[in-house]
């Protein structure tokens, strides 16, 4: 594919939810981070370490067929939705149907969007994924989202500054829920595999 290689931003772990008008808050979806690259009808996922994710090629191809673009690079999460939200174990063990939810749009039809502020990239993302099979990770301006996430036993939230570009020095903060039930035994799974 004739697209640039873009290293995904890595959120920094924080124990405190930042507060202020410059911050927005998104759900931290519990799945596999995936950059979806689409070019002339072809598509693929790459991981947060920029490795190909061949296991999800059928999903990438199906998503590309629903897009009305020549080329695009999305940043998002591959997940399996369970009864109460993302089901990490179903995804890990290949049970259930994987889907994709995008939280950023980095490239569109030959144009690099990374220098735009986050709020503008998200506006374009929302328009591009409307009426496609790609989910849109919405955001709120209220840090109280973290309390709701705790009540619903979800993984956490990600706090981002609304005016930030997508650069390696951009700081995203992930605030995980202590006691999140799907974390039990997870590190043993990864060590075994």
pLDDT attached to residue 83: 87
Query: Is residue 131 assigned to a domain?
Result: yes
Give me the number of domains the chain comprises: 1
Cα gap 181→163, rounded to integer Å: 34
Are 9 and 172 in contact, with CB atoms under 8 Å apart?
Answer: yes
Query: DSSP letter at 78?
Result: E
Q: Which stretches in the chain have pLDDT values below 50? A: 186, 190
pLDDT attached to residue 190: 47
Query: Is residue 90 assigned to a domain?
Result: yes
Query: DSSP letter at 177?
Result: P
Tokens of 108: 């569109």
Q: CATH no. for residue 90?
A: 3.30.470.30
Query: Is residue 53 assigned to a domain?
Result: yes
pLDDT attached to residue 188: 56
Query: Is residue 1 assigned to a domain?
Result: no
Query: DSSP letter at 181?
Result: G
Query: Is residue 5 assigned to a domain?
Result: no
Distance in angstroms between the alpha carbons of the first and the last residue of the chain? 30
Query: Is residue 143 assigned to a domain?
Result: yes
Query: Is residue 2 assigned to a domain?
Result: no
Query: Of 35, 28, 30, which is closest to residue 53 (Cα–Cα)?
Result: 35
pTM reported for the whole predicted model: 0.92
Domain that holds residue 77: 12-192
Query: Is residue 26 assigned to a domain?
Result: yes
CA 189 to chain centre: 22
Map tokens 């849109």 to a residue: 136
pLDDT attached to residue 187: 52
pLDDT attached to residue 1: 52
């Amino acid at each position: 594919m004739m697209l640039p290689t873009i290293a995904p931003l890595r959120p920094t772990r924080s124990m405190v939810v930042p507060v202020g008008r410059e911050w927005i808050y998104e759900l931290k979806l519990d799945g596999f981070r995936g950059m979806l690259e689409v070019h002339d009808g072809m598509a693929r996922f790459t991981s947060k370490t920029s490795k190909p994710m061949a296991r999800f090629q059928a999903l990438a191809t199906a998503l590309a067929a629903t897009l009305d673009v020549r080329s695009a690079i999305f940043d998002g999460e591959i997940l399996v939705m369970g009864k109460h939200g993302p089901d990490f174990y179903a995804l890990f063990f290949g049970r259930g149907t994987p889907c994709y939810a995008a939280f950023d749009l980095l490239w569109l039809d030959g144009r690099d969007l990374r220098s735009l502020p986050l709020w503008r990239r998200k506006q374009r993302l929302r328009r591009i994924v409307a009426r496609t099979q790609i989910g849109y990770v919405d955001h709120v301006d209220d840090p109280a989202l973290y309390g709701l996430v705790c009540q619903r036993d979800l993984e956490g939230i990600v706090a981002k500054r609304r005016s930030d570009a997508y650069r390696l020095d951009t700081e995203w903060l992930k605030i995980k829920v202590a006691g999140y039930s799907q974390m039990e035994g997870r590190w043993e799974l990864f060590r075994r595999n």
